[in-house]
C-alpha cells in the first residue's frame, strides 16, 4: 500500500486483499489447507515456483493481511506472525542464532524472555549475558566476539526504564550484532524502533495490538531477508498464528492509535494524581517530567504510554491493601487491555526470583503496576484512593 499514507490510514486500510465477493471488511479464511487446480499447480506451489497458499501452517490469507498491515504500521519491509509473543522471540532466536553464538539482553525484559535466554537457549549452545540498567556503555561492555544479537524492551516492565534505541543500535552494529526491540509496551502507534536503527521488532500481539484481551498472538518484523529466515523456521516448526486470531488482531489494529492515545492520556492523568497522594512514595511513568529519562522518552515515543507503576509507603502490606480494595480494576498480571489492570510485581510477575535479586532490580515490596485502560480517569482514581486511604 502507498507508503505516503499516515499511520491512522494504514491502520484501517493497509494489507487488505478482497476476494471475488468484494467484501468490505477483511475476510476470515478458516481453512487448514488450499485446493489446487491441477497436479502441475500443486507441484509449482510446493516448490515455491508459483505464489499461492498451500497449508495454513505456511501461509493463510487472513494471516497475510494482518502481517502486511502491521508491517505498514511499523514501517517494516516484512512481518511474520506467530502464535504468541514468546513464539515470536523463540522463532527469531532459532532462525537467527546457532550454537556458539552469544546474546546480550537487558535484565529488564519480560520474565519468560529471560527464561528463554537464560534457561532454554543455553541447552542449544547459545549463551546470554544480562545487562543491568539502561546505559549503552554497559551493553558495549557485555559484547563478546561471538555476540550476534542484542535484545531490549523499552519502556521496561514494571519500572518503565527507557532505553536509548539509537545509541544501543550503534553499539550492536559496531560489533556486527543485530538489535531486536520488544515494542509491546508502546506499539507502533507510539514508537517505531526501526526508525531508530533497530533491526528487528518483536510484538506480543496479545497486548495492545489486539487490545481487548481476546487472543494470543505475536510477530517478528524487520528486513525481508531476516523475516524470511524466521518464516522458514516457523513453517517447519509450527508456532504460526491461527487465522481466527489474525483476524481479531487485524481488526484490533484499526483502533490501535486512538486506543493508545486515549489510554496514554488516562495514564498521564492517573500518574499526576498519584504523584500528589501523600501515601505514594514514588511514581514511575515516562510521561512525567519527574521521570529521569523523560526527555529521551519524549524523543522516542509519541507519549508516555499506558503503563505506570508506583510505590506506596508501608511495603507489601500497604500495596496489597490497595489491590484488595479495588472493585473496578482487574487484579491480573495481564496488560494491554481496554480494562485497567493492577498487579503487585514482587509477589506475582517477579515472585519467583530471590528477594535479593528483586531488590537489586528495584522491584520494591510496595510497588504496584497499573496498565491503564479506557475507563473514566475519575473512576480509576477513586478505585485506587479507597485502598490508599489510611486504615480507619
Ligand X SMILES: *Cc1c(COP(=O)(O)O)cnc(C)c1O
> Does residue 157 contact residue 185 with C-beta atoms inside 8 Å?
yes
Strands 127-131 and 147-153: unpaired
Q: Which of 26, 74, 101, 153 binds ligand X (CB under 6 A)?
A: 153
Residue 85 interacting with ligand X (CB under 6 A): yes
Helix (H) or strand (E) holding 201: strand 200-204
Question: Toward ligand X, which CB reaches closer, 85 or 211?
Answer: 85
Q: Which of 108, 204, 263, 341 binds ligand X (CB under 6 A)?
A: 204
Q: How far is the CB of 117 from ligand X (least distance, A)?
A: 12
Question: Toward ligand X, which CB reaches closer, 60 or 183?
Answer: 183
Q: Which of 218, 252, 345, 373 binds ligand X (CB under 6 A)?
A: 218
Residue 301 interacting with ligand X (CB under 6 A): no
Question: Toward ligand X, which CB reaches closer, 76 or 388?
Answer: 76
Q: How far is the CB of 85 from ligand X (least distance, A)?
A: 2
Residue 288 interacting with ligand X (CB under 6 A): no
Residue 184 interacting with ligand X (CB under 6 A): yes
Q: How far is CA 329 from CA 178, 341, 376, in A?
A: 39, 5, 12
Q: How far is the CB of 113 from ligand X (least distance, A)?
A: 6
DSSP type of residue 116: I
User: What distance in Å separates the CA atoms of residue 19 and residue 36, rounded to the nearest whole number?
Assistant: 17
Residue 86 interacting with ligand X (CB under 6 A): yes
Residue 97 interacting with ligand X (CB under 6 A): no
**How many residues are there in the chain?**
392
**Pattern of binders to ligand X over 164-183, x per CB under 6 A?**
------------------x-
> Does residue 350 contact residue 112 with C-beta atoms inside 8 Å?
no
User: What distance in Å separates the CA atoms of residue 54 and residue 32, rounded to the nearest whole number?
Assistant: 9
Residue 365 interacting with ligand X (CB under 6 A): no
Residue with cell string 561492555 = 141
In sequence order, what are the residues at sequence separation of 6 or more whose Cβ sits closer than 8 angstroms to the Cβ of residue 26?
Answer: 16, 62, 65, 247, 250, 251
User: What distance in Å separates the CA atoms of residue 49 and residue 325, rounded to the nearest whole number?
Assistant: 62
Residue 84 interacting with ligand X (CB under 6 A): yes
Q: Which stretch, 199-207, 275-283, 319-327, 377-385, contacts ligand X (CB under 6 A)?
A: 199-207
Residue with cell string 510496595 = 366
Question: What residue ranges bind ligand X (CB under 6 A)?
Answer: 84-86, 110, 113, 153, 157, 182, 184, 204, 206-207, 216, 218
Amino acid at each position: 500500500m502507498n507508503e505516503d499514507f499516515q499511520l491512522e490510514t494504514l491502520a484501517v486500510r493497509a494489507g487488505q486483499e478482497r476476494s471475488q465477493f468484494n467484501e468490505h471488511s477483511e475476510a476470515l479464511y478458516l481453512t487448514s489447507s488450499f485446493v489446487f487446480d491441477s497436479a502441475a499447480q500443486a507441484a509449482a506451489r510446493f516448490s515455491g515456483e508459483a505464489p499461492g497458499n498451500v497449508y495454513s501452517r505456511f501461509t493463510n490469507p487472513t494471516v497475510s493481511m494482518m502481517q502486511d498491515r502491521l508491517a505498514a504500521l511499523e514501517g517494516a519491509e516484512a512481518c511474520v506472525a506467530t502464535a504468541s509473543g514468546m513464539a515470536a522471540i523463540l522463532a527469531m532466536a532459532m532462525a537467527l542464532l546457532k550454537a556458539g553464538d552469544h546474546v546480550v539482553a537487558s535484565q529488564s525484559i519480560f520474565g519468560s524472555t529471560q527464561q528463554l535466554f537464560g534457561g532454554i537457549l543455553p541447552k542449544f549452545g547459545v549463551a546470554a549475558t544480562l545487562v543491568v540498567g539502561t546505559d549503552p556503555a554497559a551493553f558495549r561492555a557485555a559484547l563478546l566476539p561471538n555476540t550476534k544479537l542484542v535484545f531490549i524492551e523499552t519502556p521496561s516492565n514494571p519500572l518503565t526504564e527507557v532505553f536509548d534505541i539509537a545509541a544501543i543500535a550503534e553499539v550492536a552494529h559496531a560489533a556486527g550484532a543485530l538489535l531486536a526491540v520488544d515494542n509491546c509496551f508502546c506499539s507502533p502507534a507510539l514508537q517505531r524502533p526501526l526508525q531508530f536503527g533497530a533491526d528487528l521488532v518483536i510484538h506480543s500481539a496479545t497486548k495492545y495490538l489486539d487490545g481487548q484481551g481476546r487472543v494470543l498472538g505475536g510477530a517478528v518484523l524487520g528486513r525481508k531477508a531476516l523475516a524470511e529466515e524466521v518464516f522458514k523456521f516457523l513453517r517447519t516448526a509450527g508456532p504460526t498464528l491461527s487465522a481466527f486470531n489474525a483476524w481479531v488482531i487485524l481488526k484490533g489494529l484499526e483502533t490501535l492509535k486512538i486506543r493508545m492515545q486515549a489510554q496514554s492520556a488516562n495514564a498521564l492523568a492517573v500518574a499526576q494524581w498519584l504523584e500528589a497522594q501523600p501515601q505514594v512514595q514514588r511514581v514511575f511513568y515516562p510521561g512525567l517530567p519527574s521521570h529521569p529519562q523523560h526527555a529521551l522518552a519524549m524523543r522516542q515515543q509519541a507519549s508516555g504510554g499506558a503503563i505506570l507503576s508506583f510505590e506506596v509507603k508501608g511495603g507489601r502490606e500497604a500495596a496489597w491493601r490497595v489491590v484488595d480494595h479495588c472493585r473496578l480494576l482487574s487484579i491480573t498480571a495481564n496488560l494491554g487491555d481496554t480494562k485497567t489492570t493492577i498487579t503487585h510485581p514482587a509477589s506475582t510477575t517477579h515472585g519467583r526470583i530471590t528477594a535479593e535479586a528483586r531488590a537489586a532490580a528495584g522491584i520494591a515490596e510496595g510497588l504496584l503496576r497499573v496498565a491503564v485502560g479506557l475507563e473514566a480517569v475519575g473512576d480509576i482514581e477513586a478505585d485506587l484512593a479507597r485502598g490508599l486511604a489510611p486504615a480507619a
